[in-house]
Amino acid sequence: MLEKMIFGRYIPGDSFIHKLDPRSKLLFVLFFVVAVFLANNVATYGLLLAFTLFVIFISRIRLYFLLNGLKPILILIIFTFLMHIIFTKEGTLLVDLKIIKIYEEGLRQGIFISIRFLVLVLMTSILTLTTSPISITDGMEDLLNPFKRFKLPVHELALMMSISLRFIPTLMDETDKILKAQLARGSDISTGSIKQRIRAVIPLLVPLFVSAFKRAEELAIAMEVRGYRGGEGRTRYRQLTWGSRDTISMVLLVMLIGALYLLKG
Amino acid sequence: MDISLQNVGYFYSKDTPFEKRALQGVDATIHSGSYTAIIGHTGSGKSTLLMHLNGLLKPSEGVVRIGDTTISAGTKTKGLKDVRRHVGIVFQFPEHQLFEETVVKDIMFGPMNFGVSEEEAKRRAYELITLLGLPEDVAEKSPFDLSGGQMRRVAIAGVLAFKPSVLILDEPTAGLDPRGRKEIMELFNHLHKKEDLTTILVTHSMEDAARYADNLIIMSNGTSVMTGTPEEVFADEEKLASYRLGLPRSVQFQRDFEKKIGRKLSDIALTEEQLAEFIAKAALEEGADSC
């Protein structure tokens, strides 16, 4: 059940996107996310969607797998789409079903917001699917480095992030194991009233918390035993290198933003 | 309750880039009342297999029959709760599933899920605390205040409490000290006989398999490669070795002994006691010959 989730997963590969420097990928996604909000008409949303599909294509991740993994979010997108269709009452009336009246503006808004949502989710998923958690944090640390001057504990933040990313799959596995054990004892999470279902989550959460705390303590001890003491003077095994690929992707980004700016209404 | 598997195959993360085959063409029959041991190297698919035996996993291919219930890829999850009432699983490190405020409440969790009344569940919980050799004052303690070995026993009680007719044990003694190990294995054996259970033991220990089981299933690379009685399976040392499995210590000793004295003993010694007996007999015969 949980094995279909793709949040925080990394699929190793050697596509153009995989080979990009994590810094350029992070910058790209950051500016892309902002640029998405420039879009406001058919041309700009079309461009965004086409561009995202292009990125998915060169990342060589199967679209079916991507959409299947994002099912929970797709449901949310469909929900927002329906909300827009039902509650926006502007423009010409398109369909009249007595109870539900669909207006042109509602449909337009619904489609636009859905595309915006979808594009954002797809792009950030591509980032995490093609970049190992370690590179993401390395890239993040590097990008945040200038802020060290303002006493921002950059290394500690990056460490916290990499630890939490590192433990996502572990916790998922553990959840699955405990879930199976409780199911075997007759616990029932998928049926019953809402109240019953919420109560059925307790046997899952308590053991999960217990083991998470135990794990945290063990990790802290293991780090201390090996003499870990923060980022001061720490060298890195993996060096980040900015290549021509990264420059190309930045140029593409600038072009995309330029095009969005020109095409927007 | 008879359990049978026909050509069972299973994929983890089906239809994703992480797709991984865990089982392939597993055929096995587990008769009601038998004590079956499933043995195999790490990663041979033992744990995946046992999750098929109470409907926690549905086979991607083939059919699993548990009593009157047939489970295949398309089976709805809804009807499976009834199967789980009859098939209890003690998972590896079962102490990780404890969650209640008190030991008694945790043991009562299973039976109450399966519709046993509160008084009856409580009665069973106290009974099991004694049966598993836990001190009586643990009943009202938090399970998290107990020692590792005690937590294990509480977790096992939590499964026994709903009186499954098939009991599946996934390395129930991993990480216990030798004495606790023996006590728990003896307890399961006792229950197996007394309650007429169908017991399925997943283990790495050839000694446990030889001592307790009357039927063995050897797993390798996600498929069942040998089945039969311990005598049959342990007779074929070379085949076992090809699956990176050794003989139980007593059988190994017997083989070495046979090599030394230059003749075969008539039976296979599955336990140390049998071994001692056979050797004594051989020594007596030897003595008689030399006189």
**pLDDT tens digits, A154-204:** 888 888 888 887 888 788 889 989 999 999 998 877 777 788 888 888 899
CA dihedral B119, B121, B126, B127 (to 10 degrees): 110
Q: Do B16 and A191 touch (CB under 8 A)?
A: no
Angle between helices A244-263 and A42-59 (to 10 degrees): 160
Confidence category of residue B140, pLDDT binned at 50, 70, 90: very high
Confidence category of residue B108, pLDDT binned at 50, 70, 90: very high
Residue A68 CB partners (closer than 8 Å, separation 6+): A4, B15, B16
B203 three-class SS: strand
Confidence category of residue A98, pLDDT binned at 50, 70, 90: confident
Statement: the pTM of the whole predicted model exceeds 0.80: no
Q: Please state the ipTM of this predicted complex.
A: 0.88
Confidence category of residue A7, pLDDT binned at 50, 70, 90: low
Q: Which domains does chain B have, with CATH numbers?
A: 3-247 (3.40.50.300), 248-291 (no CATH)
B54 to chain A, any CB pair closer than 8 A? The answer is yes
What's the rounded Cα separation, in Å, for the pair B256 and B249?
A: 10
Q: Is the pLDDT of residue B260 over 60?
A: yes
B169 to chain A, any CB pair closer than 8 A? The answer is no
What was the pLDDT predicted at A1? 44
Choose the closest CB to B84 out of A65, A69, A186: A186
What's the rounded Cα separation, in Å, for the pair A145 and B200?
A: 57
Structure tokens at B122: 């409580």
Structure tokens at A196: 């019953």
Full 3-state SS string of A180-234: HHHHHCCCCCCCCCHHHHHHHHHHHHHHHHHHHHHHHHHHHHHHHHCCCCCCCCC
Residue-range domain boundaries for chain A: 1-131+242-265, 154-234
Residue B200: its chain A contacts at CB < 8 A?
Answer: none
H-helix segments, chain A: 16-19, 22-35, 42-59, 63-69, 71-87, 104-130, 133-144, 154-184, 194-225, 244-263
Q: Which residue of B has its CA nearest to A179?
A: B97
What was the pLDDT predicted at A71? 83
B234 to chain A, any CB pair closer than 8 A? The answer is no
Rounded average pLDDT over A67-94: 84
What was the pLDDT predicted at A5? 63
B40 to chain A, any CB pair closer than 8 A? The answer is no
Closest approach of B85 to chain A, Cα-based (Å): 7
Q: Count CA atoms within 13 Å of residue A86 on its CB side.
A: 8
Structure tokens at B35: 């004590």
What's the rounded Cα separation, in Å, for the pair A19 and A98?
A: 55
pLDDT in tens, A15-66: 999 999 999 999 999 999 999 998 888 999 999 999 999 999 999 888 888 8
Q: Which residue of A has its CA nearest to B106?
A: A203
Mutation for testing the A interface, residue in B15, B99, B146, B160 having most A CBs under 10 Å: B99
CA dihedral A45, A51, A56, A57 (to 10 degrees): 130
* Residue A60 near residue B17, CB atoms below 8 Å: no
Q: Do A211 and B96 touch (CB under 8 A)?
A: yes
B20 to chain A, any CB pair closer than 8 A? The answer is no
Confidence category of residue B129, pLDDT binned at 50, 70, 90: very high
B35 to chain A, any CB pair closer than 8 A? The answer is no
Short-list A255, A242, A239, CA closest to A24: A242
What's the rounded Cα separation, in Å, for the pair A105 and A93?
A: 9
Within 103-132 of B, beta carbons closer than 8 Å to A belong to 109-110, 113-114
* Residue B198 near residue B165, CB atoms below 8 Å: yes
